[in-house]
Structures are given as C-alpha cells and as structure tokens.
A and B are shown apart, each in its own frame.
Chain A
Amino acid sequence: MLSRIAESLFWIGRYVERADGTARILDVHLERLNHLPTEERRSVARELLAVMGARPQSEDFGLEELLHALAYDKHSATSIAGSLGAARENARRARETVSSGLWESLNTTYYGLNQHRKDVVGTYRFCHWVLERTAMVSGLADTTVSHDDSWLFLALGRSLERADMTARMLSTRDVLSAGMSWVNMLRCAGAYESFLRTRRAAFGDQHAAEFLLLDRLFPRSIVYALRDADECLAKLDPSAQRVGFINDGRRIVGQARTFLEFHRTDDLMSELPEHMERVQKAVSQASDAISRKYFNQADELAWVGEVS
C-alpha cells in the first residue's frame, strides 16, 4: 500500500486514541481540580498540562485555560478537538481506503465538536460524548475494514498511543498526589470494575498501578497495549529472521514490553516514574522508527511537546 496512506491510517489510530485517553484523564481530574483552592488549582493545572505533553501559552493559566488546552483548542494536537480534527483530516486524505462507515463517523464527530458548552459542567458531557464517539470509530474500524495491512497500521497507531496514554494516566498520580486516589487512576482507564473483580480484597496504590502497568488481560494496560503493537509490527513485517532484527520499531517495542512483563519488583511505586518515562520514550522512539521505515516523512507530524 502507499506509504502516505499507511501513515494516515497510523495517525488516525493514534489521534483517536489520544482523544479518548485525554477525555478520560480530563473527566476524572476535573473533579479533583474543582475541589482545590484557586492557587493550587493553577499549579496543578499547569502540571497536568505538562503530563499531557504541552506547555501553557500564557502566564495566566487556570482552569479555563486548561479546558481550552486539553479539550477545545483546535490548533493543538494535545487537545481532544485538535486530535479529532487531525484524525478526520487524515481520514480525508485516505478516504478511498477507509470504509465509508469509518469516514462518516470521524466526520460526524468533527462537526459535533462545537456543540458543547465549554464550562466545567459542559466539559463533563463533552468528555462523555468523546468517549462514545471514539468507541464508535474504533468499533467501525474493527468491523468494517479488512484486517489487512491498512487495518494493521491503524491498530498499531492505536495500541502505541494507548500505551502512552495509560502511562500518562499513571503519571498524573504524581501531579495530584493530594487527593488523587488509586480509585480515580483506575476510573481514568475505565478499569475500576475489572480491577475489583480480579483482585478480590487487595486494594491500594501498588495493586492499581500494577494492574494498569502489567496486567496481561486488561486491554488498556501498558503491557497489553505494547503486546498488541508488537503483534501488529510482526504481521506487517513477515520477513521472519531466525536471528537478530532488522526492524528498529519491533526492537524498541519488544524490549519495552518484555522488560515490563518480566520485571520483578518489591517497590513498584518508587520505580513508577521511571517506568512511565521510559514507556513514553519507547512509544515516541518506536513511532519515529516506524515512520522512518514505512512512511519516510514523519518529522512534521511527530507528537508535539514531549516531556523530557
């Protein structure tokens, strides 16, 4: 298939997942933010923005600015509106390849972006709406597109971004240590009920982080998402080598996944920041490597404002 089309599909996967993850994070954190004193709210808003990989545009950065930056700013790839706009733009360029169902649902989503009140209460509904739309896009992509190379690129983008987003969800724990409970961390990922059913009575930070980071069966866990990405990469490059590797993307994703999957630790919480940073780094490096190998023109589309 055309590199250009493959690249569009890869980014549709990433942008839609990014919108989904950002909506989840915003929805849960907004509730916490609302309960903080104004001064603290400002500093936490800044830090939250930094976790999402952006910097405040102005000195005066409060709740409203945060909502704009993460939800409604159409010109930023960090925001929900920006991501969904970019996903739709990519679908427009690959319109003859994507199914009409997928295209239409992205297009409808794009036109629905403006129909929400942009205050706190409106943003809750907005986040809810975004989750519904992204689930629909994902579902249509899975059920109306042949699972050939084109779908694999979409799924690859989605799983890489998902690993990255879950890492960011876990990183927000540091930002809002005042009152950010593990329950909310799990709610971010929609993992609360699943977690409770698997863990019987074992509650707490450590278990929750472990679940989101290492669980082999929960689809939004980092290990699960990285394994999905790994499988997509393997199918895209069937030149099975008996020894060694020629594919940088696979190496990066595979190393990160296996390191986490087989990592043994007694003190996950103190290592968490490192895990999160390395996962995010691995995702961006893998994305670069994939671009170099398959698309060959990725630099201008890279994930902006990476935290370093």
Chain B
Amino acid sequence: MPEATTLRTLSDPGRAGPASRLSRLAPVHWLALAFLAAALGFAAAAWATGNGFYLRLATEALIFAGLAMSVDLLLGYTGLLSLGQALYFGLGAYVSALVLRDVAPSFWLAMAAALLAGSVAGLIGGVIANRVKGVYFALITFGLAQVAAKTVYNTRALGASDGLIGIPQIQVGFGPVSLDTADPLSFFLLVLALTVAAYAGLAYLMDAPFGRTLAAIRANEKRVPFLGFNAWRYKLAVYVLAACVAALAGALYPMLRGFVSPELMFFETSGNAVITVIVGGVGTLVGPVVGSLLLTALRSVVGSWTEHHLIVVGVIFMLSVIFLRKGLVGALLARLNRRGESGRTGS
C-alpha cells in the first residue's frame, strides 16, 4: 500500500526521514502478505486432508485476532490499555446470536446489528472511560466489563451462566453465490477475507492523518492541543472504532461455534487479547493476528500433553514484556529493517 505512506502528515519522532519511513512500513505489509499466503496454504492443506477440526480452530484464532486488533488500536497506537475489550466482543457475539436465532438467519443483518450495538456501547463506554488516563483508564475499562459480564451472567433472559445455545448455521449470500457457515473451509475463507479487510482498512487509517494524530497522543498528549487537535475527541473516536472491531469479531463467534456464553465477556477473554497483542507485536496490527494464531497453536499443542498451558503462556508473555517490547513481529521487523538499511548503504 505505497499510497498510504504518502498520507503521513504528522511526523513521528521515532522515525527519521521519508526514505526510512518507506522501508520501515513496507516490511509490515510484506509480512501480512506472507501471512495471507501461509493461511491460504494452510487452508488448501486442511481441505486436501479433509481436516475440519484444525480449520475451525484456525477460524477461532482469526476471530480472536479481531479482538486483539482492537486492543492493539488502543494500546499500540494510542497508548491506552484496555482491560475490558471483551465487553464489546461479547456484546457483538450476543447480539449476533440473538439476531440469528430470533430475528432472521441473515449474516449481514447480524453483522449490522453487532456494528450498531458496538458503536452505541463504545460511545457510552468511551465517554465514561476517557474521563481518566493511564492506569485509571485500564481499571475503569476493567470495571465496566466486569459490570456488564456479571449482569449478563445473572440475566435469565440471556441464558444466565449457560449462555445461548442452538444458534442456527446460516448461508452467507454474496449476490448470486452463497456460502455455508457449516462448511469449515468456506467459513474459514470468509473470516480470513474479513480479517484481511480489517487489517487493510485499519492499517490505512492508522497511516492516514487520523492515525498520526493518535500516535501524537501516544507520544505526548499534552502537546496535541497545541497542534490544534482535540485529543479527547480522537481518543473517543478510536475507542468507538476499537469497540466496533471487537463487536464485529464477536459477531462471527456464534456462527462458528453455534453458542455464546458469558465467558466471552469475562476478564480472561480481555486478558488473553492483551497477551496476544504483547506477544505478537504492539502497534503493528499484523502482530495480533500472528500472535493469536501462534498462541492458539501453542495452546492446542501444549494442551494435548498437559492442561497447565497457562504457565507456558504466562512465561512467554512475561518474557515478551521484558525483552521484546514490540513482540515477535516487532523483533522480526527490526531485523528486516537492519538488513534493508545495511544493504542500501552497502550498494
């Protein structure tokens, strides 16, 4: 996406000239393309061997990657740690489940309803959470999600602790063609396409003036008003955006699993999303996707010989926090950059 780089209007203190900006940006997208190729290869292999289980698992990883991306928008680009992003993910999942079960088995209607619910809830949550900064922001998002999760958990109409079951499989129509969510391969490809679209759209937006303003807020919020920007408005906007992304990702969940449960809103879900972002790479958007797939694979591998995978995940997470500040993808990009720069000075 070379056009996007020219849209950078605000200079980022971390990056020097336009040339290095270009070389720094391109590898992210190359990485994303390589990832896409690998995902398609995986799909082909899984389809050839007729293995639906791993396709379903990979689909779930991509769905949770959407949640992780929304955390990355806040943490990586704006410097806001949300410990309650599962609130919007769970909201999207419940709204989608209710629409599919009780209103109409329509993919587009479910997604639209989840988007609407996500933006309204995000607006309310954002107005509340953006009253405070730093750790208080983390704690208030945590508290909001707890209130919502416990409320859902206690509400009989929403299935209380059992959640909602019996969400029908649906046909997703694209004009003349339609695909079946019950088919592991087509649903995987659909979710993959949506993930790629979300990545491309968000990466573009983060390179546009909007994203540069967020970077400025992250770097030094107090100076942003002096540049003529209203930091609060931008923080609210990105919060609503993140809520919508999380809600849309959540809306896909019941289509995959056929049920929703209050666990989707619990702190474990929010915490896992934060872990995914930190391990994958903060502020890269590819990182959350890569992290989600890696951690899902790790859990399934480690989980096959011990149920104590939390120790492994926890150790990896803490090592990432201490040693890999930009996660796996960040470390990889730094290497690619160094090679690229030394290559250029050598020629």
Do the two chains belong together in a single complex? no
